[in-house]
Amino acid sequence: MKIEFWFDFASSYSYPAAMSVEALAKKENVELSWRPFLLGAIFNRQGWQDSPFNLYPAKGAYMWRDLERLCDELGLAFTRPSQFPRNGLLAARVACLSGDAPWLADFIRAVFTANFADDLDIASPRVIASCLEASGAHSAVILKKAQLPSAKSRLREQTEQASQRGLFGAPSFFVGEELFWGNDRLTSALNWAVKNRY
Amino acid sequence: MKIEFWFDFASSYSYPAAMSVEALAKKENVELSWRPFLLGAIFNRQGWQDSPFNLYPAKGAYMWRDLERLCDELGLAFTRPSQFPRNGLLAARVACLSGDAPWLADFIRAVFTANFADDLDIASPRVIASCLEASGAHSAVILKKAQLPSAKSRLREQTEQASQRGLFGAPSFFVGEELFWGNDRLTSALNWAVKNRY
């Protein structure tokens, strides 16, 4: 059984999902595939040049309070980032080129923690390097790779695939071609994988 | 302890919430207050002249599939309405003027069932009359009352209150001034009421 976890490093609700998806999937014996993509590119196609949480202030104010409550429930550290959304391009390229490297899951959680718990700028190569090192990866080699045209096009292709499969927000989960949107749907997606033996 | 349930008769995710909120609140010994309002008026202020589920097709396609899955899980009848969103103005005026009439909860569920299970036009006074009669109310008297300026202004005021309190979507729940948005947050809202003894 398999679940795809589609996320963006800048996306606020991707944070609690990224921190809990692996443990929950393991518990249900569901295989997990990490799928970083660029939510901004999807938003642009919907006519938004910024996060809807910035474009619609009432929605944004609610989201921050809701996220605070959620993290509290999950026992997750949370600091409202001083900049939102942050530029997750470099982190997404790194995660995208890394296939199923043994350090990938730890790296992803380190970047989300940097953004949403430690209020660090994840656009900074220095921050990403330290997330890589903390996860047991060789940052110099990987950061160099992330600048190659192949790394850039891989992320572009993955984002294009997201759009073509009907993805419109993050986090999202695919179980086969069944789409689940939002951190709230993590359990439903896992149940779907188990029930339908995906 | 008390929870306010804010809903719009045209709102798709308000349907499962409306059908389950009373039983769940009773189970937790939380008092329930029904608060109809006009989501369209709130959307207009956000610059939308239509439901975001129509404005953003990928989001809309997902919503219908998600709602189908949800209703299936809850054992709720569901038919995708042939018209969306329907005009819930008359139903909302009726619900709004009815305070805590003993037939109110049944009436609200009857209207949601008409819209989302029986694919009936809830803008029609005939449909609303039959929802009233089925709930044990005198439809002729109430439909006449619903046309009075006082009934119209009561709904307008309630919608204005929703906007001023930061409400931006439906269904929503208030527990004191703590806002919870979405059918997904019904359990969280009830837990909040219990935990904080609202």
- The Cα–Cα gap between A7 and A5 comes to 6
Contact B181 A46 (CB under 8 A): no
Tokens 């009848």, residue located: B77
The answer to whether residue B60 neighbours chain A at the CB level (below 8 Å) is: no
Q: Among A168, A182, A188, whose Cβ lies nearest the Cβ of B56? A: A168
Least confident of A51-55, A59-63, B31-35, B138-142: A51-55
- Identify which of A164, A169, A135 has the alpha carbon closest to the alpha carbon of residue A53: A169
pLDDT value at position B99? 85
pLDDT tens per residue across span A82-101: 999 999 999 999 999 998 89
Q: Pick the residue from chain B with its C-alpha nearest to A48.
A: B56
Is the minimum CB–CB distance between B64 and chain A shorter than 8 Å? no
Distance (Å) from the alpha carbon of A157 to chain B's nearest alpha carbon: 19
Whether residue B46 and residue A56 make contact (CB cut-off 8 A), yes or no, is yes
What is the distance between the alpha carbons of residues B36 and B6, in angstroms, rounded to a whole number?
Answer: 6
At residue A113 the predicted structure's pLDDT band, cuts being 50, 70 and 90, is very high
* Shortest CA gap A166–chain B (Å): 6
Q: With beta carbons under 8 A apart, name residues in chain A contacting B180.
A: 66
Predicted pLDDT of residue A106: 98
Nearest CB among A61, A182, A185 relative to B166 is that of: A61
**Across the interface, which of A58, A167, A179 has its CB nearest the CB of B166?**
A58
In a 10 Å sphere around its CB, with 0-12 CB exposed, 13-18 middle and 19+ buried, how is residue A197 labelled?
exposed
Please count the structural domains in chain A: 1
Match 């992320």 to its residue by tokens: A155
CATH number, position B169: 3.40.30.10
Mutate one of A184, A187, A191 to test the B interface: name it (highest B CB count within 10 A): A184
| DSSP β-ladder status, B172-175 and B178-181 | antiparallel
Give Dmax (Cα) for chain B.
43
Encode pLDDT of A65-83 as tens digits. 999 999 999 999 999 999 9
Give me the count of residues in chain A: 198
Give the residue from B46, B1, B3, B47 showing the smallest Cα distance to B21.
Answer: B3
B113 Cα to chain A: minimum distance (Å) = 24
Q: Which chain A residue is nearest to residue B69, measuring alpha carbons?
A: A188
Domain extent at residue B74 = 2-195
Q: What is the mean pLDDT of chain A?
A: 96
Best mutation target, B172, B175, B181, to test chain A (most A CBs within 10 A): B181
- Pick from B67, B64, B88: nearest CA to B19: B67
Enter the ipTM. Answer: 0.92
pLDDT in tens, A25-46: 999 999 999 999 999 999 998 8
Which B-chain residues 75-114 have CB contacts (< 8 A) with chain A? none
**Sequential pLDDT tens for chain B (198 residues):** 899 999 999 999 999 999 999 999 999 999 999 999 999 999 998 888 999 999 999 999 999 999 999 999 999 999 999 999 999 999 999 999 998 899 999 999 999 999 999 999 999 999 999 999 999 999 999 999 999 999 999 999 999 999 999 999 999 999 999 999 999 999 999 999 999 876
pLDDT value, residue B184 = 95
> How many contacts, defined by CB atoms under 8 Å, are there between A and B?
39
CA dist., res. B62 & res. A173, Å (int): 12
Mutate to test the interface with B, among A42, A54, A62 (most CBs of B within 10 A): A62
pLDDT digits (tens, 9 = 90+) for A159-177: 999 999 999 999 999 999 9
| pLDDT tens digits for range A118-143 | 999 999 999 999 999 999 999 999 99
